[in-house]
Structure 1
Amino acid sequence: MQAPSRAIVSNQPGPHEDLSRRVMRSLAHPLRKPVAEHTRDAFTRARCWRETRGDMPLILDAGCGVGLSTRRLAERFADHAVIGVDRSAARLSRDHGPLPDNALLVRADLVDFWRLALAAGWQPVRHYLLYPNPYPKAAHLKMRWHGHPVFPAILALGGRLELRSNWKLYVEEFALALELAAGVTAAVEPYVPAAAGRLPVEYLTPFEQKYHASGQPLWRLVVGLPPDAVLVPAGPVRPAGEGE
């Protein structure tokens, strides 16, 4: 039986007409929003945890939801330190068994966490954006990661960036924004989760499993970014309440 999953409906017939302006604006005017204290504390804990992992390469699982993708990435890349970040305590608190020793789940605002990571000089070797909220209404472009002022910071972290979505237009817009911001060309390609040998299909997230089971096509973009793909002033990142 196919799992019920609504297809994305949008009033956009193609890439948003305002995408170029928003990307150029985010490059010209780096985000200066004060960092929330709870995210600063969460990042400090994550930095301390990472330091205990020695020279393990870093993987960021941005918007990890219930943390299954973080667990599965940690199992797949056992010699890497995998940090999953999500803003929802309810999602992160769901019981999916113990975390692998090389994995950490962090409750934090991603916009602030990314900026703190950049200011701290973090350079993840892999960076995942798995099924972000598509915000399909045209009026919500600024809420999509490629239309958000934090977009240059995401690219400036470098590494192998992988985006997956069940909305092709989201991935196409992200690819256009990449070319505008960093001069990098990335292919938008169909993604079909594959079985490992004779084992069941391995899904990274519950969303991926639900969309695939309901027959929706999945799409992805994979691109290698040098740390200086986009130059963004890294700091200092101002605490909330300071200078207001």
Structure 2
Amino acid sequence: MTQFHSRPISSGQTEPHEDLTRRVGRALSHVWRKPISGHTRAAFEQADAWRRTRKGRGLILDSCCGVGLSTRKLAMRFPEYSVIGVDRSADRLSRDHGELPDNALLVRADLMDFWRLALAGGWRPERHYLLYPNPYPKSVQLKMRWHGHPVFPAIVGLGGRLEVRSNWRLYIEEFAIAVAQASGVTAPLGPFDPGDDPLTHFERKYQASGQPLWHLVVQLDYRPGLLPGTELMPGL
């Protein structure tokens, strides 16, 4: 008998949100004026300094890395890369999941600010992972999903091989629609099997609970001007 009993996503929304394309369009055409927090700017500067010391290595960005398990595993799978995991929770990042490989760095920061700083700072990750489910399943919560948020163009603008995973197919469908609108690139989606070595605890518990898992993988061009106002950000 499985030790996991995770509930599947429950939502009254049964198809892509009717307001999705409008929200993406607005994010692509309006300057988002939220100030950058001081603690995230400091965290970004430290991460950028670490990245610069590792010349000649490609960059992997592990966004919403949680406890950092995925960052550790990605660093071991791709030892020729520098892997930076970012999460806003000090509690999650402080949990012990073994020694951090030399080519990995964990950063506590607000990703809404960190992505904008990375885009303005010329970061070009070769791989970018969004493995945290982040569904916010209520219809009124669209603006809280990454693809419905004003920061979404920064995610697309960073470019590279973007991979997004969730246990809610509709979330992945919406993300693919938003990516196509922002970049003109079709993002294929489908089920995936994490195998015997899941990257995250989420994948492990959903798999053990018998829930289907979904992902999209898309190769994006680096487009620093995709987020309006990026060139006006101070200090970079």
| TM-score (norm. length: structure 2) | 0.96
Aligned CA RMSD, in angstroms, stands at 1.3
Task: Give SS of 2:185's match.
Answer: coil
Contact kept in structure 2, 1:19 and 1:177, CA below 8 Å: yes
Structure 1 partner of 2:230: 234
Structure 1 partner of 2:206: 211
Contact kept in structure 2, 1:131 and 1:166, CA below 8 Å: no
Q: Distance between the aligned counterparts of 1:162 and 1:136, measured in 2?
A: 20
Q: Distance between the aligned counterparts of 1:236 and 1:38, measured in 2?
A: 20
Q: Distance between the aligned counterparts of 1:88 and 1:193, measured in 2?
A: 25
Say if 2:157 is the partner of 1:156. yes
Structure 2 partner of 1:242: none
Pairing 1:92-171 to 2, within 5 Å after superposition: 92-171=93-172
Q: CA deviation at 1:192?
A: 0.9
Q: CA deviation at 1:230?
A: 6.5
Structure 1 partner of 2:31: 30
Task: Give SS of 1:235's match.
Answer: helix
Q: CA deviation at 1:238?
A: 4.7
Q: CA deviation at 1:55?
A: 1.7
Task: Give SS of 2:15's match.
Answer: coil
Q: CA deviation at 1:234?
A: 2.4
Q: Distance between the aligned counterparts of 2:105 and 2:145, measured in 1?
A: 25
Say if 2:57 is the partner of 1:56. yes
Q: Distance between the aligned counterparts of 1:231 and 1:20, measured in 2?
A: 16
Q: Distance between the aligned counterparts of 1:95 and 1:179, measured in 2?
A: 38
Contact kept in structure 2, 1:63 and 1:132, CA below 8 Å: no
Contact kept in structure 2, 1:182 and 1:229, CA below 8 Å: no
Among 206, 218, 225, the residue aligned to 2:220 = 225
Structure 2 partner of 1:87: 88
Q: Distance between the aligned counterparts of 2:155 and 2:174, measured in 1?
A: 15
Q: CA deviation at 1:94?
A: 0.1
Q: Distance between the aligned counterparts of 1:109 and 1:131, measured in 2?
A: 15
| TM-score (norm. length: structure 1) | 0.93
Residue correspondences, number: 233
Structure 2 partner of 1:181: 182
Contact kept in structure 1, 2:225 and 2:231, CA below 8 Å: no
Q: Distance between the aligned counterparts of 2:43 and 2:21, measured in 1?
A: 33
Q: CA deviation at 1:68?
A: 0.2
Q: CA deviation at 1:5?
A: 0.4
Which residue identity lines up with residue 94 of structure 1 in the other structure? R
Q: CA deviation at 1:237?
A: 2.2
Q: Distance between the aligned counterparts of 2:179 and 2:74, measured in 1?
A: 25
Q: 1:230 to 1:212 in 2, by over 3 A?
A: farther
**Structure 1 residue runs of 4+, over 4 Å off?**
none
Percent identity reads: 65
